[in-house]
C-alpha cells in the first residue's frame, strides 16, 4: 500500500469536496494516484459535493436542543424545501444541534466537533450528506443561550418533528423554582416567534436606532405644522410606542392580547410564589436574510431529466 501524505489528502479534498477520511480511503485504494482517486470517489458518489457548493441554500431546518440551563440552536440550509422532509437530513440537523450543546456555539467549533459513530467531523458529515442527498448544504448560523439559574425554554413553530422547524426560539428563564415556571417560559417563547421582538429590554435597543427614529418622527411632526414644543411631546409619545413594538418585555402579550409580556411574567411569578425573570433570548427564522435566486422550475426539471 502506498504511503499517503497529508498534502495528497488535502489536494484531493480541494478537488472533490469529499471528506478527509474518504479522500484517504480513495488514495489508499488507488495507490496514491490523485486522478484515479477522483474517479474512485465519483463512483462512490462522494465527489458530487464540490459541484453543488455554488448553489444557493436558503431552505432546510432550524434545530434546537436544550439541557437544563443551556440551549443550542442551529440553522442548516439546503437548496429546496423537499430536503426538510428527508429523514437523513432531519437526523443530521438533530445531531448537529445536540453536538452544539457541547461547544461554545461558534460555527467553527461545531464544524470541528466529532460527529458520533462516523469517524468524521461535523463539517465532513455535512459534505457526506451533500453527496448522498444531492443538494448543497450550509451550516449557516448557531447560538448558545444560557440561564444562570432556572432553565432554558425552547419553541419550534410549525415543527416538522420535535426540535425541528422553520422558526426556532430559545429563552433563558431565571427562577429558583424551574418546575413552577415551565408554562410561562413556553408561552413567552411562543410570543417571541409570533411578535419577533428586536431586543429584550430598552437597554438592548441601540442609541443610534432611537436617535434615527426620533429624528424621523420629529420631522414628521414639524411637517404636519405643529409648533416645535408640541412636536417634541408628540415625538416622546411615539418613542414610547416604538419601544412597545420592538422590546420584548414591553410588547402586548400575544397569548392574552391585553397585558404586556412583563406583566404576564409578573403574574406567573405571583401565581407560582416564586421569582421569574427573562435574561436572554434568541430566535432564528429559516432563510432570513438570504438572497434567493430566481429560478425556472420547469427548466430545472428538464435539465435534471436530461442528466
pLDDT at 55 over 70: no
**68: alpha, beta or left, given left = phi > 0 and alpha = psi -120 to 50?**
left
Average pLDDT over residues 131-136: 85
pLDDT at 287: 86
Question: pLDDT averaged over the chain?
Answer: 86
pLDDT at 43: 67
Q: Where in the chain is the domain with CATH 1.10.8.10?
A: 6-52
Q: Where in the chain is the domain with CATH 3.30.479.20?
A: 59-180+279-286
Phi, psi of 222 (to 5 degrees): -65, -40
pLDDT at 46: 63
pLDDT at 37: 86
Cell numbers found for residue 43 = 463512483
Q: Where in the chain is the domain with CATH 1.10.286.20?
A: 202-276
- Full strand arrangement of the beta sheet holding 164-165: 137-146, 70-78, 59-67, 164-165
pLDDT at 119: 93
pLDDT at 187: 97
Domain covering 202-276: architecture:
Orthogonal Bundle (1.10)
Scored b (16 or more CB within 10 A) or e, 278-296 reads: bebbbbbebbeeeeeeeee
| Alpha carbon distance 39, 18 (integer Å) | 12
Average pLDDT over residues 278-307: 66
Q: What is the pTM of this model?
A: 0.74
pLDDT at 38: 81
Q: What CATH number should be reported for the domain whose range is 6-52? A: 1.10.8.10
pLDDT band at 14 (very low <50, low <70, confident <90, very high): confident
Domain covering 59-180+279-286: architecture:
2-Layer Sandwich (3.30)
pLDDT at 40: 80
pLDDT at 139: 95
41-45, 208-212, 302-306: lowest mean pLDDT where? 302-306
pLDDT band at 302 (very low <50, low <70, confident <90, very high): very low
204-235 pLDDT, tens digit per residue, is 998 888 888 878 777 777 777 777 778 777 88
pLDDT at 18 over 50: yes
Residue pair 210/218 in contact by the 8 Å Cβ criterion: no
pLDDT at 218: 76
| Alpha carbon distance 193, 165 (integer Å) | 12
Average pLDDT over residues 73-94: 93
pLDDT band at 307 (very low <50, low <70, confident <90, very high): very low
pLDDT band at 175 (very low <50, low <70, confident <90, very high): very high
Amino acid at each position: 500500500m502506498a504511503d499517503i501524505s497529508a498534502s495528497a489528502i488535502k489536494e484531493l479534498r480541494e478537488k472533490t469536496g469529499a471528506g478527509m477520511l474518504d479522500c484517504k480511503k480513495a488514495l489508499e485504494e488507488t495507490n496514491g494516484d490523485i486522478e484515479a482517486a477522483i474517479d474512485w470517489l465519483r463512483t462512490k458518489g462522494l465527489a458530487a459535493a464540490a459541484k453543488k457548493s455554488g448553489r444557493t441554500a436558503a431552505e432546510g431546518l432550524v434545530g434546537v436542543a436544550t439541557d437544563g440551563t443551556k440551549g443550542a440552536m442551529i440553522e442548516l440550509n439546503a437548496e429546496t424545501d423537499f430536503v426538510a422532509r428527508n429523514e437523513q437530513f432531519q437526523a443530521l440537523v438533530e445531531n448537529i444541534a445536540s453536538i452544539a450543546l457541547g461547544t461554545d456555539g461558534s460555527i467553527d467549533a461545531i464544524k470541528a466537533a466529532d460527529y458520533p459513530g462516523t469517524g468524521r467531523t461535523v463539517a465532513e458529515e455535512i459534505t457526506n450528506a451533500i453527496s448522498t442527498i444531492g443538494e448543497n448544504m450550509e451550516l449557516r448560523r448557531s447560538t448558545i443561550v444560557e440561564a444562570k439559574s432556572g432553565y432554558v425554554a425552547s419553541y419550534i413553530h410549525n415543527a416538522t418533528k420535535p426540535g425541528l422547524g422553520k422558526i426556532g426560539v430559545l429563552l433563558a428563564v431565571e427562577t429558583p423554582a424551574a418546575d413552577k415556571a415551565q408554562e410561562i417560559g413556553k408561552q413567552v417563547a411562543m410570543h417571541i416567534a409570533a411578535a419577533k421582538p428586536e431586543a429584550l429590554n430598552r437597554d438592548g435597543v441601540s442609541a443610534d436606532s432611537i436617535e434615527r427614529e426620533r429624528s424621523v418622527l420629529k420631522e414628521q411632526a414639524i411637517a404636519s405644522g405643529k409648533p416645535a414644543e408640541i412636536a417634541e411631546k408628540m415625538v416622546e409619545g411615539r418613542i414610547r410606542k416604538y419601544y412597545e413594538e420592538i422590546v420584548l418585555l414591553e410588547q402586548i402579550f400575544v397569548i392574552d392580547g391585553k397585558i404586556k409580556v412583563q406583566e404576564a411574567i409578573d403574574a406567573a411569578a405571583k401565581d407560582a410564589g416564586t421569582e421569574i425573570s427573562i435574561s436572554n433570548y434568541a430566535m432564528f427564522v429559516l432563510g432570513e436574510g438570504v438572497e434567493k435566486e430566481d429560478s425556472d422550475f420547469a427548466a430545472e426539471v428538464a435539465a435534471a431529466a436530461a442528466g
